[in-house]
Each structure stands twice: as C-alpha cells, then as structure tokens.
Amino acid sequence: MNILVTKFYFTNNIINILIFSVVVHEPGTYPDLEREGLHVEPGKLNEINYQPVLWKRLNTPQNPCREEYIDRNPELASITDHKLSRLTGLDFAYAYNDLNVSYRYTQSQCILFHQQEDIIKECGCQYIYNPRPKYPSNNLPYCGSILGGDFDILALAKRIQCLTSGPLNVTVRSQYESTLCHPRCRYYTYESTISVTTWRAVDWQLHWLRQLNRAFKSMQYDVKINGEDWNITQSNGFHRWKEYYEKDNLTNVS
C-alpha cells in the first residue's frame, strides 16, 4: 500500500491557499487524484480510514484476466513503445509512462492510456486527465490549453470538438476492456473515506480575525488614497498587523 500526498499551492500578493489531496493505492500504480483523491482540509483534524480488499479472479476464455507473471516480466508488462524504467527487487514491472514517470499496470489506466493514444492520433493533443506519454509542446499541446504566445481560439475549438465527439465516447473506451485491457487476476483496492473534525473558534481567535481583516482593509484604503509608491509601513493597518505578528501571547486580548 502507498499513500500519496500531493500539495497544491495557489498564491497572489495577498492570499495564500494550501490544498492537500491524498490517495491510498497499490505500490507502483498511478495515484489517480482526479477520480480517487481525498481532499484534506488544512487546520482541521482529518482522519483517513481505509479497508484493503484483495480481489482474485479466475482466468477463463469467457472472462480473461491478466496473470501475475505478466506483470513481473518487463517485456510482457509493457503496453507502450516508450522506454520504461527497470526495477530490481520488486515483484512487478512497469507498464507505461506518464510525463516520463513509469507506473505499474492497472485496467483503468490501461484503458485511459489507449484512449490517450486515440486522442493524440485523431485530435493532435493530449487529454490532461489521462496518462501523458510526452510532455506538452506546441506540436502536441493539452487539448484545453490556452497558454502560449500564438494562442489560436479556432484551433482550441477544433480540439475540444474532436475530443468530445469521438475518443471520449464511452463505447470507444469499453472496447478496450475486452481486448487490450483485461483486469488483473489478483489485485488490491482500498476503500477509503475521510472524516473531518472542526473545532469552534474561541473568542481570541475571532478577535484577531476581525483585527486582521480591518488592518488589511485599512492598508488597502491607504494605498488607494496615497498611491502605489506610498510607504505602507506608515499605515495604521500595518501597525495592527505588526502587533499580531509580534505579540507573545495571542490569547491575551484584554
């Protein structure tokens, strides 16, 4: 079992926002944040509960599955023409790449990988939520990319239309389940849930929240009146902020 914790950090001149996403997954497999991620709320007690479930399937002609020996063999495990990392000391081999990072085979990612190949072939772009065999470039951008100096809204519209009208069709995806992307004969899933405990704010916390909010508005007002080049340290709001950061005991608000 692996637990991936990914941090997303958004910032501007005033506000910083920190968001965590957690995925419990099998070692070597792709941590699918979009479909399986649990969002962790900063500043609160987050408890992640998970139950490992072992699945075993019988390999039959009517319902074939991928045997374990295939996943242990680097030549047999691969589902791509791209070069993959070689492992030593582990009981599995890598099957495909996502942005030059190699991952172990799973049925769901196999389907998305082949779907991505169809998207690249038909639409000339990469779908950001599927395994990406190459880094995005001007020749092979993300399908919804709006970045770049030579942004072409018509080209974007054509990519989106191509994406939604063909390769993302459920019927197209399902054909891989019975041909190229059989489920593994033996694998684990992790039924994961998250519980969040919130503590009620106490008086001193509410006091400083109000103080900082007023200080921020005061600084904004002073800059608006005096101009961008004005020394903000002369603002009364700045001194209220400074008081907060220099105060030894924030709980004492008397």
Return the pLDDT at 96: 92
Of 153, 162, 79, 176, whose CA–CA distance to 125 is shortest? 162
- 101 contacts 132 by C-beta, under 8 angstroms: no
- 188 contacts 47 by C-beta, under 8 angstroms: no
Strand partners, 11: 16
pLDDT in tens, 42-100: 777 788 888 899 999 999 999 999 999 998 888 899 988 888 877 656 678 899 999 98
Does pLDDT of 10 surpass 60? no
Does pLDDT of 113 surpass 90? yes
Sheet holding 2-11, edge to edge: 2-11, 16-25, 38-40
What whole-number percentage of the chain has pLDDT above 70?
87
pLDDT in tens, 36-45: 888 887 777 7
d(CA 115, CA 125): 12
Does pLDDT of 228 surpass 80? no
What is the average per-residue pLDDT within 197-205?
73
Return the pLDDT at 3: 52
Torsion angle of the four alpha carbons 146, 150, 154, 157, in this order, in degrees rounded to the nearest 10: -20
Q: Place 254 in a pLDDT band, splitting at 50, 70 and 90.
A: low
Which strand (E) or helix (H) includes residue 173? helix 170-177
Q: How many CA atoms lie within 13 A of 168 on its CB side?
A: 15
- 71 contacts 92 by C-beta, under 8 angstroms: yes
Inter-CA distances, 117 with 135, 159, 162, Å:
14, 15, 14
Most confident of 10-24, 66-80, 142-156, 157-171: 66-80
Return the pLDDT at 115: 92
Does pLDDT of 7 surpass 80? no
Return the pLDDT at 112: 92
Return the pLDDT at 91: 78
Of 178, 70, 162, whose CA–CA distance to 120 is shortest? 162
**What b/e sequence results for 196-229 when a residue is b if at least 16 CB atoms lie within 10 Å of its CB, and e otherwise?**
eeeeeeeeeeeebeebbeebbebbeebeeeeeee
Q: How many CA atoms lie within 13 A of 60 on its CB side?
A: 5
Does pLDDT of 1 surpass 70? no
Q: What are phi and psi of 228, to 5 degrees?
A: -65, -30
* Range of lowest pLDDT (12-16, 71-75, 89-93, 183-187): 12-16
Domain boundaries, the chain: 1-54+188-199, 58-183, 203-246
